[in-house]
Structure 1
């Protein structure tokens, strides 16, 4: 569905996604449930289980039905209200979803509403689990709640994808796609920030700031991540020596390669390969 560069950009965004649930619940609303033209500084999910009502997100109006999952992103003007004496019962959560310093839904445009098949209990199960964990209030509760939210976002993305996903800020996205494609094609040699900045017609410092703002990592850190991923693959699928792997992945200094690999994985290359069931020759 996506070209390689566009898909890579989307994957890079999602790899660096940081989420946090700030409020959640399951309850009916009442006939006075209403707010007009407000702009939240958080994202919301509504999963409707019963009743009727009205939502407006940006310039679009919706009358969600039970079994529909609504996404209401931060920074977008919204309204809601009951429309009769049988208003909604819904699961809901407020949350942040940041890539670097940017809201996920400013970068990736999605439809605001998806249908959940009647036999698909996953959204309700995820909301129930988040509520259970939130009430448990253990040391790790927030970690598990946020993990459930990540699954819910993934669920929404998977079902929105066949409809359409538009990358926002097309010019910036084109620049970043070009940089990622260049890195994918040339990470085996010594890529410099100057090369990448020249490719995007930017000053190196401006390029670094743009890259880190969108991905939460610097260009060189990303290049090294690509190299380490390639090292992992070669360690577990070939009989190449560490020196040969270093030559192929742009890190010919085996001492530095070992240090970088351990920093990224917590394991030496030898230990990593041993755990994968192989030994260096």
Structure 2
């Protein structure tokens, strides 16, 4: 079951006393919070979001953010990962509302998810302690070993909670042209390759200039910008899940110039590859 769709990494209930203050968190998985008591603040690239009781919040994968808490604060947390081999990914393909009002049923779902996954709580709340390659791989492995009935119920609850955000979400790209929809899936499946605009245009039976104009009209990005964004997201995942050297990651993603790769990585993610990996040191080294 873990080979498809959403994968539960962690779930638990945390109580903080002005100690939930972590900066520059950027993970390959999504977070959902159900705030229980108290207030905190979530710093995002587009502003500050107040976290208040009886609300649900979502942080999509690869979103640079920071936490700020100066008093008592308790919440349920859910960390979930989406299979990166999928051509279409819900967590990456939609713009979600940051906050929605939680219902009693939402809370019951979260509590049930915790009940059937009793050993998935975080041992440490500092992202530097749990947001690393060994933890990610270990949690994916745990999920793969769940009994079938627990796996199905877990996935069902994750989709139900996600559906609450999807109700008011908007696709990042409203694709009306089948050729561009095909190319987006092709890019994701072949992100390690050197993707040339001429070849992509040929797959659409379009001239290069026509392809670029159509792509920009549909996606609101140039093909090059979109490809670079997806390559850097893949690089982030590789930095999390492998010990490969930065230069080897850049070459594997078909960047011939490591310096350019480093500059592009920082421009898109907010951190250099070295800084990004520094937040991912194994627990035993901390």
The structure that has the greater radius of gyration is: 1
Q: Using CA pairs below 8 Å that are at least 6 residues apart, which structure has the higher relative contact order? A: 2
- What is the TM-score when the length of structure 1 is the normalising length? 0.48
- What is the TM-score when the length of structure 2 is the normalising length? 0.47
